[in-house]
Amino acid sequence: MSTIASLQIGEIGIISEKNMQKIPLKLLEMGCLPGAKIELLQIAPLQDPIYVCVNGSHLAIRKETAQEISIVKYSGNNE
């Protein structure tokens, strides 16, 4: 099972409906919805938080939260 925290810098994932109840409401309101593409942009020096781009918005997510959000790694041909 892949999560946002398992992405490498520059990799893109698609947020899965699995474990959706673990996505905080605040992130849902910011566009972290199932089916959205999410790209890992940067990791803070102490590995927490991580910086992602989802729907054109840049967000900082705690690593603990990122480990709970399931994704499917995006390969460019799995729309």
pLDDT at residue 28 in the model: 87
Cα dihedral 23→28→29→33 (10° resolution)? 170
CB 4 within 8 A of CB 68: no
Beta-carbon contacts of 21 under 8 Å, excluding residues fewer than 6 positions away, are none
41, part of any domain: yes
Sheet of 12-15: strand order equals: 2-3, 70-73, 12-15, 37-43, 50-54, 57-61
79, part of any domain: no
Domain of residue 13: give its range. 2-73
45, part of any domain: yes
CB 60 within 8 A of CB 49: yes
Q: How many domains does the chain have?
A: 1
CATH code of the domain containing 15: 2.30.30.90
Residue pLDDT tens, the chain, 79 long: 799 999 999 999 999 988 778 888 888 888 889 999 999 999 999 989 999 999 889 999 999 999 989 999 888 765 5
